[in-house]
Amino acid sequence: MLPETGLSEIKIRKLRISNKGKLMEQLARFGITESTVYPGIEKAAGEIAKKYDKSKK
Q: What is the pLDDT of residue 56?
A: 62
Q: Is 5 within a domain?
A: no
Domain that holds residue 42: 20-56
Q: Is 4 within a domain?
A: no
Q: What is the number of domains present in the chain?
A: 1
Q: What is the pLDDT of residue 44?
A: 78
Q: What is the pLDDT of residue 52?
A: 86
> Which tens digit of pLDDT belongs to each residue from 4-51?
666 667 777 888 889 988 998 899 899 888 778 877 888 778 878 888
Q: What is the pLDDT of residue 30?
A: 94
Q: What is the pLDDT of residue 3?
A: 64
Q: Is 12 within a domain?
A: no
Q: Is 2 within a domain?
A: no
Q: How many CB atoms lie within 10 A of CB 53?
A: 9
Q: Is 9 within a domain?
A: no
The pTM assigned to this predicted structure is: 0.48
Question: Distance between CA atoms of 54 and 42, rounded to whole angstroms?
Answer: 20
